[in-house]
A = this chain, B = another copy of it.
């Protein structure tokens, strides 16, 4: 990022209301900003992108089922005609909790309340080789990168004479048996089974392996036993090789080394094995949990920092029911945002604040066409009806009527045609001559 600038961010409108600065427009930050529309606060929402990303569908962007724009929503559009919310694209560097200033790539901004909602990034658990060679999927850019990578690997494979020399281009290995890993593995297996053989009739897809590796003994760890076993059965039915209780030791861009010196040949190692919070400077060691999350009290306030809050994946709140903290999922982020919006209003009126209570609405994951698993508080089910439930819940959660419509049409089309048609290798090939040097320096 650019180094933080020591002047106020220009063109922030004046306001008589207390200033709430929200960092990050993911599920938590965006929900809070929307809850504060037309309330007696001046809200400044910052994000490094100018759009909200709908993370649960990244895997469909990666597997050519959805266009990136269908699950991305321009933030400025959300706040048309709202006078009290200002969006600004900026990267955040540090906070000074004494002078109540947040420093960013575009200048600093004063706050009365600061809400940190920067979410999490990929965690490689310190393995530098894996970080260097593997491919993460925590942004829509990364999802598009995966799509391009898989397609270009096939375009390269077809130019190789001997089948044994194509393996590293055709195999895909996914690490992490959570919903992201399961959904990616299922979608890639379906591409292999139904679509790629039509695109590349000269290649033999019996030679293409899709491998899902999980360190723990089960897939979808936090879900029910029924869901876990059904997900495993569905994946194996699609021809995914699932390796449980298996640790990845190393990767050199070509060969994955597992414990026990098992080797897998692939150029495509997709890493969905863990996350770590995105942090900024300005807090002491005591404010962090050992896993790097910011310790917050029952009102999401960072311990020892009056007026600074953290919500969503970045924060760690413990209580009797969740002594190790809440799960890092969208529902927690959204509910924390809602509670915080009420508490900020109460606080301004000197009313009592309410402790956050997580209401677990259940969880679900999809494996493939007509294959999903759903755990609701009072019922668990799998298969076609679970798949329809998954589609409906995710469709309703997408922001904006137009995006919802486009996702719905895409899904219907893909379902009927068996052919997600976005196999386009539109690479960032074009850079204006005069900017090539800049680009190189940035890297």
Known: A9-B159, A11-B158, A106-B159. A133 touches B433 (CB 8 A): yes
Question: Is A426 engaged at the interface, CB distance under 8 Å to the other chain?
Answer: yes
Question: Is A145 engaged at the interface, CB distance under 8 Å to the other chain?
Answer: yes
Question: What is the 8 Å Cβ interface bit string for chain A, positions 401-417, against chain B (1 contact, 0 not)?
Answer: 01001100100010001
Question: Is A77 engaged at the interface, CB distance under 8 Å to the other chain?
Answer: yes
Binds B, one of A198-206, A236-244, A277-285, A345-353: A198-206
A133–B198 touching, CB < 8 Å: no
B161–A434 touching, CB < 8 Å: no
Question: Is A425 engaged at the interface, CB distance under 8 Å to the other chain?
Answer: yes
Residues of B within 8 A of A400 (CB): 421
Partner of A430, one of B145, B155, B405: B145
Residue from A76, A106, A141 whose CB has the most chain B CB atoms within 10 Å: A76
A45 to chain B, nearest CB (A): 13
A68–B431 touching, CB < 8 Å: no
Question: Is A49 engaged at the interface, CB distance under 8 Å to the other chain?
Answer: yes
A50–B423 touching, CB < 8 Å: yes
A68–B161 touching, CB < 8 Å: no
A140 to chain B, nearest CB (A): 6
Residues of B within 8 A of A402 (CB): 413, 417, 421
Partner of A151, one of B50, B135, B159: B50
A431–B443 touching, CB < 8 Å: yes
A126 to chain B, nearest CB (A): 15
Chain B residue nearest in CB terms to A89: B155
3 nearest A-B pairs in the assembled complex, by CB-CB distance: A428-B428, A141-B430, A76-B199
What 14 new A-B contacts, CB under 8 Å, besides A10-B159, A88-B159, A440-B440? A11-B158, A11-B159, A51-B426, A67-B67, A68-B426, A69-B426, A76-B423, A133-B434, A135-B432, A139-B429, A141-B430, A145-B430, A400-B421, A402-B413
